[in-house]
Structure 1
């Protein structure tokens, strides 16, 4: 099974010392050239014209330090992606506190989507950066469109080799970077988190629930091999799971907390 995750807007500061990112050493090496292209444009833009970069990236004045950080991405110390990404979903997922077997499964099954890197394993070493998928870089245009072909070429073989379901927990901007097609689409399911009893979509607790669900699946043992097994596993973990009528590619998890 593969779990498709969004990144977090907030990121850990990273170590003060250490080796910088090596794009050619990241997983999914078919993405190396595309990663280098985005990295080159982002660092050049932030180094040459910080004010323009801040406008393009949609950052306020108080986040001007993010531009300085982006300009130095080639030399900044890197850390595992699972430690760099923070926020509600990643706090609930708690990668650092997983048991060794669950952590191994996380390294094999989690894919984090990124406007800069395309997609990453949690073990890939990257620096802290700022680049959302909704950004349009001057030379490359919109990032979702830019990444579609490279990600399809890299991820379709990986997903086919995995053979299991794809649990897609990405937000809309990151879903636009790669949409499984054909047989892979039939193995893909998205998740909504709904509030009982009104069945309205929740916001903050949506991310926390998704992080908790992934943690529980990783900790429970061998990951489900089919979509029916995934539904059964979530119910065995105590979740109220519903399948919307006429949509076999969506799961609704119903919660009491919002």
Structure 2
């Protein structure tokens, strides 16, 4: 099993911890391109129009300032730095030892800055989305050959559980011999199934945590479906604002002519 996650937009900045160095990250074949992106990001972040170039508002100016000093910055495991809805639901930073070990070999966050990191990789907080970076162009395009070289062999012959959003999915396509499955979360409204957004992140996180903590790992799409069906009928989250609980009603697997198969999760 290989679970692919997007990074969270919000990140918790470590104030203590080992100084950052590329050499401590997994997938060292990515380090040359990581260095190239780091250097360009520092240059762009130092410009007067940095916020505009990075597509962010004044409220995260301190995050952009942090981009200038990533080398040697305090680090924490990626599972603690990424703190968005999906990561909170997955509980990656609070797993028992056996599940944490499974996560480190089976979970990858696809990142605009690092390419790919495991939950235990020590990283600083940063600000960069998978868009266009002046001097490098479209980051998904620049990462694609590097991620293919680093990850194709790992994914081959295994089931790839793809929880990424579209910009991060564009950075790497699993090889043809992988059982590639994209996770889609829907609600039924007036007989029509519609994709949901915020609750989708939370539900994907719940699924990730379940796959890491249950006995055994799925090795195919069919086994993934059976593992997911273990959650049917359970409460998988609470609506923000209303406090209403929502439940996983059904899980189904469908195929498409091209691209990944789809694991569709119907929530109440």
Secondary structure of residue in 2 paired with 1:253: strand
Alignment of 1:105-144 (within 5 A): 105-134=102-131, 136-144=132-140
TM-aligned CA deviation for residue 237 of structure 1 = 3.1
Q: After the TM superposition, list the runs of 4 or more consecutive aligned residues in structure 1 that deviate by more than 6 angstroms.
A: none
Pairs within 5 Å for 1:1-258 = 1-14=1-14, 16-47=15-46, 49=47, 51-134=48-131, 136-160=132-156, 163-184=157-178, 187-196=179-188, 198-238=192-232, 239=248, 240-244=250-254, 249-256=261-268
Counting strand residues as a fraction of each chain, which structure ranks higher? 2
Unaligned residue ranges in structure 1 (runs of 5+): none
* SS of residue in 2 equivalent to 1:229: helix
Q: 1:3·1:167 contact (CA, 8 Å) conserved in 2?
A: yes
Instruction: Output the CA distance in 1 between the equivalents of 2:130 and 2:9.
Output: 10
Q: Deviations over 1:95-115 (max 9, x none)?
A: 122222111111110000100
Note the C-alpha offset of 1:70: 0.6
SS in 1 for 2:109: strand
Higher relative contact order (CA 8 A, sep 6+): 1
Moved more, 240-249 or 111-120: 240-249
Query: How far apart are 1:19 and its partner, in Å?
Result: 2.3
2:25–2:122 contact (8 Å) kept in structure 1:
yes
The C-alpha deviation readout for 1:142-167, integer Å capped at 9, x for no partner, is 1001000000000112223xx42000
- Provide the rounded CA distance (Å) in 2 between the counterparts of 1:61 and 1:230: 42
CA distance in 1, matches of 2:262, 2:215: 23
Cα distance, 1:245 vs. partner? 6.5
Structure 2 Cα separation of the partners of residues 192 and 209 of structure 1: 9
Q: Is the 8 A contact 1:115 1:133 kept in 2?
A: yes
Distance of 1:245 and 1:227 partners within structure 2: 10
Aligned partners of 1:90 and 1:211 also within 8 Å? yes
- SS of match in other structure, 1:243: strand
2:181 is paired with a residue of what secondary structure? strand
Deviation at 1:27, TM superposition (A): 0.4
Q: CA deviation at 1:18?
A: 2.7
Aligned residues: 248
CA RMSD in angstroms, aligned pairs only: 1.5
